[in-house]
């Protein structure tokens, strides 16, 4: 821990100790008023008011919801002072809140079941705490990103809009119900998976099951795709890339003695390696064509690119680790499991090094999993999150302000990606074409994916 980060970090600790009740009430307000992706209007106004009351000047994102707000000193990265990004996601899920608590959702069918209310409270808390400090070694840019839960989501808009310009690194955290509150999970490299969705439609003439030789046996063809594709895939991709295809839905036929004319398969493709992800669509399309060709069925593939993996930068993780040790002590910093869940923070890596930490939220008893109406957190985790990310930002600003010769100084500042030449840009375009949402989520306890 460096002297400035040490001193200011201690001031943040003190601020958190004095504002625990306020942080909890912010979180409970957000939890009781969930809003869906790109419709987080009240959430945005609420955050905006709190920031303005602290003398800060938040700006709305071009998406209409979400905010960006800088805290600290320096010129905002245009010509000098370092800028570090902290990112929260602010949207909720279309799930019923099943909890019997005073702060349960007041909106039918909507729930903060992924902990984004906690993430938002943490980044808001960091902004409010840092706003009271003098002597910051640069500026912290807090990004309250909309629409993490949709594909393509808010992160692609944030990256393409230039909101990240001039910053050197970005950090975020995600609740992890498998890790006890008071602990922090870290991992270098891929911490979440890329996740795409593939829909396959087979068509044929149909016919009587007594005479399959006169038609295309569509159900048999579907069966071949179901089993052959995953096994072919496993021989076409480096096993270390961690690519998997798992079907979630299969539909065809009605009668026991009639071969149907149409059948569909829907599944997700997950992969931990970003390079392998780039080639996943072409590879899957060609494998589907190959297998379908042996059956005689006509085939159509709808492949929807989801999110890239979140690949944690080693230097950014080292900064998180120093901050975590200063916040919870080395004994409470654990190795985070790799998740096959998706998280759109991975898009930020298009323009700068990133790292996502896991915030332990388990308060005892059976873990309350993400994406369920019963999900809740031990609220002591909120203060840990504020202290962790405030310290991380301070350490990163110091590191980026004074690059030591030939070592781990500031990475090049970000530049807005040129139109049309990034995957993030492509994803934005795809979102404009289709608002299709899908199920890239992982429902295992501790999967931690967004």
| 166 vs 450 by CB, closer to Zn ion | 450
Binders of Zn ion in range 105-144 (CB under 5 A): 114
Query: Is 16 one of the binding residues for Zn ion (CB under 5 A)?
Result: no
How many residues interact with Zn ion (rule CB under 5 A)? 2
DSSP structural state of residue 413: P
Is 333:319 a contact under the CB 8 Å cutoff? no
SS3 433: helix
Q: Is the peptide bond before 27 cis (omega within 30 degrees of 0)?
A: no
| 425 vs 441 by CB, closer to Zn ion | 441
| 114 vs 170 by CB, closer to Zn ion | 114
Is 338:191 a contact under the CB 8 Å cutoff? yes
According to DSSP, the β-strands at 262-271 and 194-203 are: antiparallel
| 185 vs 450 by CB, closer to Zn ion | 450
| 315 vs 362 by CB, closer to Zn ion | 362
Query: Is 34 one of the binding residues for Zn ion (CB under 5 A)?
Result: no
Q: How far is the CB of 355 from Zn ion (least distance, A)?
A: 16
Locate tokens 């279309």: which residue?
94
| 91 vs 313 by CB, closer to Zn ion | 91
In this structure, what token pair is assigned to residue 6? Answer: 């040490």
CB-based contacts of 46: which residues, under 8 Å, 6+ apart?
29, 30, 33
Query: Is 9 one of the binding residues for Zn ion (CB under 5 A)?
Result: no
H-type alpha helices, 131-238:
154-161, 218-236
Is 53:126 a contact under the CB 8 Å cutoff? no
| 237 vs 382 by CB, closer to Zn ion | 382
Q: At what angle do helices 154-161 and 423-433 cross, to 10 degrees?
A: 120
Dist CA 161 CA 404 (whole Å): 32
What are the DSSP E strand ranges found in 53-117?
A: 59-60, 67-72, 83-89
Is 343:148 a contact under the CB 8 Å cutoff? yes
Cα atoms found within 13 Å of the Cα of residue 324, Cβ hemisphere only: 27
Q: How far is the CB of 235 from Zn ion (least distance, A)?
A: 32
Query: Is 450 one of the binding residues for Zn ion (CB under 5 A)?
Result: yes
Binding site for Zn ion (CB under 5 A): 114, 450
């Amino acid at each position: 821990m460096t002297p400035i980060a040490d001193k200011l970090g201690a001031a943040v600790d003190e601020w958190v100790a004095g504002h625990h009740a306020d942080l909890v009430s912010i979180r409970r307000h957000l939890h009781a008023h969930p809003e869906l992706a790109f419709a987080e209007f009240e959430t945005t106004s609420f955050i905006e008011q709190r920031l303005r009351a602290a003398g800060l000047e938040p700006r709305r994102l071009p998406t209409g919801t979400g905010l960006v707000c800088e805290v600290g000193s320096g010129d905002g990265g245009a010509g000098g002072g370092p800028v570090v990004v902290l990112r929260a996601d602010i949207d909720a899920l279309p799930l019923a809140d099943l909890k019997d608590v005073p702060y349960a959702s007041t909106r039918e069918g909507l729930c903060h079941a992924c902990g984004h209310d906690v993430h938002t409270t943490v980044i808001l808390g960091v902004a409010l705490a840092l706003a009271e400090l003098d002597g910051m070694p640069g500026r912290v840019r807090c990004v309250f990103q909309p629409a993490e839960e949709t594909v393509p989501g808010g992160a692609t808009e944030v990256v393409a809009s230039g909101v990240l310009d001039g910053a050197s690194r970005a950090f975020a955290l995600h609740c992890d119900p498998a890790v006890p509150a008071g602990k922090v999970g870290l991992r270098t490299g891929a911490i979440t998976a890329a996740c795409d969705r593939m829909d396959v439609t087979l068509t044929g003439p149909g016919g009587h099951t007594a005479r399959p030789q006169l038609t295309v046996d569509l159900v048999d063809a579907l069966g071949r795709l179901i089993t052959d594709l995953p096994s072919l895939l496993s021989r076409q991709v480096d096993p270390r890339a961690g690519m998997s295809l798992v079907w979630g839905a299969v539909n065809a036929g009605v009668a026991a003695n009639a071969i149907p004319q149409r059948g569909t398969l829907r599944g997700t493709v997950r992969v931990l390696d970003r390079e392998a992800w780039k080639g996943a669509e072409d590879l899957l399309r060609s494998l589907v064509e190959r297998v379908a060709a042996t059956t005689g069925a006509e085939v159509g593939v709808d492949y929807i690119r989801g999110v890239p993996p979140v690949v944690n930068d080693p230097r950014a993780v080292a900064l998180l680790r120093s901050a975590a040790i200063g916040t919870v002590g080395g004994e409470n910093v654990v190795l985070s499991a790799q998740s096959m869940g998706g998280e759109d923070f991975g898009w930020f890596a298009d323009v700068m090094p990133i790292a996502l930490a896991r915030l332990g939220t388990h308060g005892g008893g059976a873990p309350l999993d993400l994406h369920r109406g019963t999900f809740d957190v031990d609220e002591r985790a909120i203060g840990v999150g504020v202290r962790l990310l405030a310290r991380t930002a301070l350490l990163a600003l110091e590191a980026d302000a004074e690059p030591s010769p030939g070592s781990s100084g500031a990475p090049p500042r970000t530049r807005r990606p040129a139109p049309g030449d990034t995957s993030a840009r492509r994803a934005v375009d795809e979102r404009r074409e289709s608002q299709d949402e899908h199920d890239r989520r992982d429902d295992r306890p501790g999967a931690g994916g967004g």
